[in-house]
Amino acid sequence: MMTAISNYVAQNFGAGRWDRIRQGVRACLIQTEAFNLIMCVGILLLRHPIVRMFLSDPTKEIYYYADMYLTIVAPFYFVLGLLAVYRTSIQSMQNGKAPFAACMIELVMRIAATVGLSGIIGYTSVCIASPMAWIGACALLIPVYYKMMKGNCAALLRME
């Protein structure tokens, strides 16, 4: 899906078709999030079979930690979908600085969650590290995307 939106946005960016970029990103978000919803439900319902795919004889303790991790992370796949679509779209519009900054935000958020919170909330800090990172990156990328779209559309109107 990200390869498709990358090519679609890049082609329409080159053609100056901001309306098509907006339509394509919206369609990609709908499809990605629909898939993420199905995946989230599947992960939550099939946690133990998923663990058995990777371990032949998981213990109760392994199930406990895997259940905790998957139960916390799976609902945040919605945010991960937003992150993937917006990051890809921004990169495809020749903006590499914002996605790079988002990567740095993700790194800092993961370190802060695991190192900074592990003494307070223990293993839960590992579980929330990725969702925190995704939220932090989205907090940058979503406004950047809409600012780029607004700026380009305004410039297009001034040229006509």
Residue 113 has pLDDT above 60, yes or no: yes
Q: Report pLDDT for 154.
A: 53
Question: Are 29 and 85 a contacting pair, CB within 8 Å?
Answer: yes
**pLDDT > 90 fraction of the chain, expressed in percent and rounded:** 89
Residue 17 has pLDDT above 70, yes or no: yes
Quote the CA–CA distance of 101 and 138 in Å, as a whole number: 11
Q: Report pLDDT for 153.
A: 56
Residues in Cβ contact with 62 at an 8 Å cutoff, skipping those fewer than 6 apart? 51, 55
pLDDT band at residue 151 using 50, 70 and 90 as cut-offs: confident
**The total number of structural domains that make up the chain:** 1
The residue to which tokens 């992960």 are assigned? 43
Question: In which domain, by residue range, is 22 found?
Answer: 2-159
**What is the DSSP secondary structure assignment for residue 113, as one 8-state letter?**
I
- What average pLDDT does the structure give for the chain? 92
The predicted model scores a pTM of 0.89
Segment 33-52 mean pLDDT: 96
Segment 20-44 mean pLDDT: 96
